[in-house]
Amino acid sequence: MTEHYQHRARKRFGQNFLHDAGVIDRILRSIHAKPEDRLLEIGPGQGALTQGLLKSGGQLDVVELDKDLIPILNQQFAGMPNFNLHQGDALKFDFTSLNAAPNSLRVVGNLPYNISTPLIFHLLNNAGIIRDMHFMLQKEVVERLAAGPGGGDWGRLSIMVQYHCRVEHLFNVGPGAFNPPPKVDSAIVRLVPHAVLPHPAKDHKLLERVVREAFNQRRKTLRNTLKALLSNAEIEAAGVDGSLRPEQLDLAAFVRLADQLAIQPAPAAE
């Protein structure tokens, strides 16, 4: 097993390998995989979580970008019938190619900071096949995902993820659990796609646009940040006070603004 330790973490992939057995066990207990589960691990690294996921008996697909890790993973796991390895970029991976049934795929990953947000949005585009997601992320990202209205962490990421999912900040993980130790704390988050959206928008793309515009200048009032999309009268017609700042609005209010925009003549594209 000496080869297991020959791979050095690469900065360009944002690699920090999990090695703390207690943390690994706690993550696996949080996931609680079962033999009938369809599992997808993104960025298995040197296989810290992979081993435990395979022991559950569930079918496991893994997606790894770093070509140098492929032989290490294959050496450890290729003989196991429930293991399937894909070399490639998770940001470009076609999750529908897994032929997972609706609401069946359980996604796991220790995600590098530089891809965490775009990858979560890529997965949300496939929310129909996903049952839940468990991610190790930078702690401040998890705080933003789980935030509520009124504070500095509440923003585009919180709103668009909570539109699709229930968010649970499970526990924090210190730098010492990794090799090399990152300069920041990490945290485990559970994202569970809603069976029924609590606040469905008429047009999801318009909701994204309203939220993006609103938070582009989060210190300004809504009547200023949204003036290219909605007049103050239209903001008021959505039941929203135009003198508020975007961080003061909850998800339902943003959906009402997007629905108001949906009944207006379409504004010119940017």
Known binding positions for S-adenosyl-L-methionine:
16, 18, 43, 64, 89, 110
CB 206 within 8 A of CB 258: yes
What tokens does 53 get? 């996921």
Q: Is the peptide bond before 180 cis (omega within 30 degrees of 0)?
A: yes
- Burial track 60-82 (b if 16+ CB lie within 10 A, e otherwise): bbbbbbbeebeebbeebbeeeeb
Binding residues: 16, 18, 43, 64, 89, 110
Q: Which residue has the tokens 């995600």?
A: 111
Identity of residue 129: I
DSSP tag of 198 = S
CB 161 within 8 A of CB 120: yes
